[in-house]
Amino acid sequence: MGWSLFRRNKQAKPLVPGRDRASASSKRQVYSYYSARPASNNRPAANKQGRGDKGHAKQQRLPRPSVYALVLGVCTILVLFSLGKVLIVSPESKIVVANSGENATIDTTQLYQTEADNLLGSSVLNRFKPTIDTNGIAADLQKQFPELSSVIISIPILGNRPVIYVSPTPATFTLETPRGYYSMDAKGYILQKLPNQDTSLILIKDTTNRTPEPGAQYLATSITTFANTVNFELEQGGIGTVDYLDLPVSAPYELVAHLKGKSFYIRFNLRADATQQGGAVIATLKYLGGKTPSSYIDARTPERIYYR
């Protein structure tokens, strides 16, 4: 009995599936879910080959380095071109003559552009929009061409060519010389050559052999101011309308006024006061009543008026 009990105690206990492992000496093999599932390393080769083909296909679709270089080069060129349009100023300007009427010609416009281009190229700072001296260039142009009443320089935001708007002084006189007719402003600067006399302007005759040049001063401003004052005084005083003003070659300080419909002329002294001489002429004619001189009135000495 005792032995049988000992034998029962030594009897091997049954294995619990999934928990107890069989001994190394056991010949029975216990199967479980994990042991039946194939390991990842034992996957079919076909699957690995298939996934490898997909990765290889993706690598073939990627752009080549040469394409990247081409795109980068194009982008760089576009950026440089845009910066050039925004920052750089062209040394070649465009002249726009504003309110010119008949005072602007191709010759004078070309002169303005040539001088403006020289000023633009005179400094490296004038080649860039942030540093260009537009006020200085405008002042230099007006100094070079006094017949211009205003100069405005415009720099386009996206363009490179500066646009210069110039306004010539309106014509006041028609200058008649042996070389033809010319329009002239109130300061004595020649504006342009005319095909015929402009009857809307005051006519001044000069018989000297000088050649008028557009943009250059032909008569001193004191002479043109004197002529303008005499014209105003005679018309406002009721004496008559000035037909033309003459600058005699033999008398360089004399101005002779010829009136429309009058047989006499009036002699003025350019070195004396124009308003005072005009007033003396008006007073003399009023003193004569309805009589008029047959030849001339000499107002060169306002204190003593001579007439014939």
Q: What is the pTM of this model?
A: 0.61
What's the CATH number of domain 94-168, 3.90.1340, 3.40.50, 3.30.460, 3.10.20? 3.10.20
26 pLDDT tier (thresholds 50, 70, 90)? very low
Report the pLDDT value the prediction gives residue 5, as an integer from 0 to 100.
Answer: 45
Name every residue whose Cβ is closer than 8 Å to that of residue 141 and which is 6 or more positions away in sequence: 112, 115, 116, 119, 148, 151, 164, 166
CATH 3.40.50 region(s) of the chain?
Answer: 171-307
- Residue 28 predicted with pLDDT over 70: no
Tens digit of each residue's pLDDT (9 = 90 or more) over 68-127: 787 777 778 776 666 656 788 889 999 998 765 545 555 678 889 999 999 999 999 998
Distance of CA 118 to the CA centre of its chain: 15
Q: Give the C-alpha distances (Å, rounded to integers) separating 220 from 135, 142, 184, 224, 234.
A: 28, 18, 12, 7, 22
CATH 3.10.20 region(s) of the chain?
Answer: 94-168
Tens digit of each residue's pLDDT (9 = 90 or more) over 48-70: 444 545 555 455 555 566 877 87
Coil, strand or helix at 293:
coil
Q: Which CATH class is domain 171-307?
A: alpha beta
Tens digit of each residue's pLDDT (9 = 90 or more) over 239-275: 889 999 999 999 989 999 999 999 999 999 999 999 9
